[in-house]
Homo-oligomer: A and B are copies of this chain.
Amino acid sequence: MTDFQITHKVGKARRGKLNTKNGIINTPAFMPVGTAATVKAVFTKDLYETNSEIILGNTYHLMLRPGSQQIKDFGGLHKFMNWNKPILTDSGGYQVYSLSNLRKLSEEGVEFSSHIDGAKVFVSPEKSIEIQTDLNSDIVMAFDECTPYPAEYDEAKQSMELSMRWASRCKTYFKDHNTNKLFGIVQGSTYEDLRHESASLLSDIGFDGYAVGGLAVGETQTQMFDVLDYTVSKLPIEKPHYLMGVGKPDDIIGSVARGIDMFDCVLPTRNGRNGQAFTKLGPINIRNAKYKSMDESIDPESNNPICRDYSAGYIHHLFNAKEMLGGMLLSLHNIYFYQELMSNIRTAIENDEFEKFRADFLSKYLD
């Protein structure tokens, strides 16, 4: 099947369309993060307006609360949260390591204690796919071990090999229980030969898309781009490439240039709730006193509804007065910013002007 069509290429950058049962995703695509069945502080009806075509849900959070069985009973995650476009769910592996307590890792899977109520929970590759099947996400992620960063070579190798055995088990279980899409995840830390081996093993198993995992975990942008430089070229070229947990606007542009098609990140919403607004000149902190008297939009170059209707001075006031509307406005604004960035990237690739766009954007954007 060719559910992914690449319509334009500029260097390694690709413009594509990914078909899922709940709609088409134009790539390169950014997925707002909807951890607990909500993109925090954003109504789904407004999320449609931002031109978001897919969101991400966190399996770890949803399995613990409200539980995947309840979401299944309510007709799946789309219906539960009132979102009728595609959803990708992660496998839960990352959060087991970053959020839970008392982990016990074995060949079979991971036992851990819930960060919410301490309950003992066991997740295996099969269990993760079963949960994601209950959630009925359009794109299911293979369950992997999240290799700590930095990792010694032997540690990274053993971890990657375990993840590859788990990837194979995910595929086996998936094909008997789920008709949506399954993506594999390349591991191998910052070691080129391990990344190559991982990519090769995943290609042999065969997935609907390939994610680069184990990045956005503390490494520099240069290190991340290095890994992409020697990893993405080893992924099946005709399948979508997804860089998990990334990132800032310049991370995204640099990764598109290296052949990445999909991204997810909490930055637009998390930073929005904390008073940071993304603008074409770089991020600003709306709490800064200089915005108090500014009767202009936070991003004079943008015409999204937040910039059109609200002044920087008003949003500054809302944060100053600890009003919920402040975080609501900046979360939405930041998603608009990210989706406009992705739209501009796609247009630039279509017009064979990606390198010009990249240079123009980065020359103005000061992080």
Oligomer: number of copies: 2
Q: Is A70 an interface residue (CB 8 A)?
A: yes
CB contacts under 8 Å to B, within A36-55, are 36-38, 40-43, 45
Q: Is A309 an interface residue (CB 8 A)?
A: yes
Q: Is A158 an interface residue (CB 8 A)?
A: no
> Contacting chain B: which of A24-32, A74-82, A166-174?
A74-82
Would A66 and B328 be within 8 Å (CB), given that A323-B36, A323-B38 are in contact? no
Would A314 and B81 be within 8 Å (CB), given that A73-B295, A295-B73, A327-B324 are in contact? yes
- A327 CA to B318 CA in the complex, in Å? 17
CB-defined contacts of A66 to chain B, threshold 8 Å = 292, 313, 317, 320
Contact A80–B36 (Cβ < 8 Å): no
Would A42 and B325 be within 8 Å (CB), given that A74-B313, A313-B74 are in contact? yes
Would A82 and B309 be within 8 Å (CB), given that A66-B292, A73-B295, A74-B314 are in contact? yes
CB-defined contacts of A80 to chain B, threshold 8 Å = 311, 313-314
Contact A324–B314 (Cβ < 8 Å): no
CB-defined contacts of A75 to chain B, threshold 8 Å = 295
CB-defined contacts of A328 to chain B, threshold 8 Å = 41, 43, 324, 328
CB-defined contacts of A45 to chain B, threshold 8 Å = 305, 309
Contact A70–B324 (Cβ < 8 Å): no
CB-defined contacts of A273 to chain B, threshold 8 Å = 324
- A80 CA to B293 CA in the complex, in Å? 11
- A116 CA to B276 CA in the complex, in Å? 24
Q: Is A321 an interface residue (CB 8 A)?
A: yes
Shortest beta-carbon distance from A310 to chain B in Å: 6
CB-defined contacts of A327 to chain B, threshold 8 Å = 324
Chain B CB count within 10 A is highest, among A75, A273, A295, for A295
Choose one: B37, B41, B73, B309; the contact of A324 (CB below 8 Å).
B41
Q: Is A175 an interface residue (CB 8 A)?
A: no
Contact A317–B73 (Cβ < 8 Å): no
Listed from nearest, the 3 A-B pairs whose CB atoms lie closest are A41-B324, A38-B325, A66-B317
A-B contact pairs, 13 of them (CB 8 A): A37-B314, A37-B317, A38-B318, A38-B325, A40-B323, A41-B328, A61-B321, A65-B320, A74-B295, A74-B311, A74-B314, A81-B314, A82-B310
